[in-house]
């Protein structure tokens, strides 16, 4: 299964993402509560995540900017956007996200997207 880095400022959502995705068998290697911390933590990962689950509207730095900066560091990074802001969907996909999950979404579908991202990686 995938090594996941979760970037979500909403505490209860972050908690359920982590718990549910662990049940689906994924490894959560870390989580960030804002865009700035996400970039700092990504730099510090010695073994980079397979997939980053990324919210858009967050304190300090939004998801689009986070993705741009991380892609500049590592072009092959896989992002799945998990956001309520449907208006940024096209931009997110154009800039390199492999999938955009509009809230509310089911874990089953998210799990399928992660598996798909993993197969692309492999």
Give residues in contact with another protein (CB under 8 A): 10, 12-13, 16-17, 19-20, 23-24, 57, 84-87, 102-108
Task: State in angstroms the smallest separation of the CB of 51 from another protein.
Answer: 18
Inter-residue contact 34 to 59 (CB < 8 Å): yes
Task: State in angstroms the smallest separation of the CB of 82 from another protein.
Answer: 8
Q: Which is nearer to another protein, 45 or 105 (CB)?
A: 105
Burial of 87 (0-12, 13-18, 19+ CB in 10 A): exposed
Q: Which is nearer to another protein, 13 or 93 (CB)?
A: 13
Helix axes 35-44 and 63-73, enclosed angle (nearest 10) = 20
d(CA 60, CA 62): 7
Task: State in angstroms the smallest separation of the CB of 86 from another protein.
Answer: 6
């Amino acid at each position: 299964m995938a090594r996941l880095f979760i970037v979500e400022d909403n505490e209860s959502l972050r908690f359920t993402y982590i718990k549910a995705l662990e049940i689906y068998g994924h490894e959560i290697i870390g989580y960030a509560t804002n865009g700035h911390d996400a970039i700092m933590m990504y730099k510090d990962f010695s073994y980079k995540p397979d997939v980053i689950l990324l919210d858009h509207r967050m304190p300090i730095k939004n998801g689009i900017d986070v993705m741009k900066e991380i892609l500049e560091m590592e072009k092959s990074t896989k992002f799945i956007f998990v956001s309520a802001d449907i208006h940024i969907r096209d931009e997110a996909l154009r800039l390199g996200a492999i999938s955009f999950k509009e809230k509310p979404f089911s874990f089953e579908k998210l799990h399928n997207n992660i598996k798909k991202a993993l197969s692309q990686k492999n």
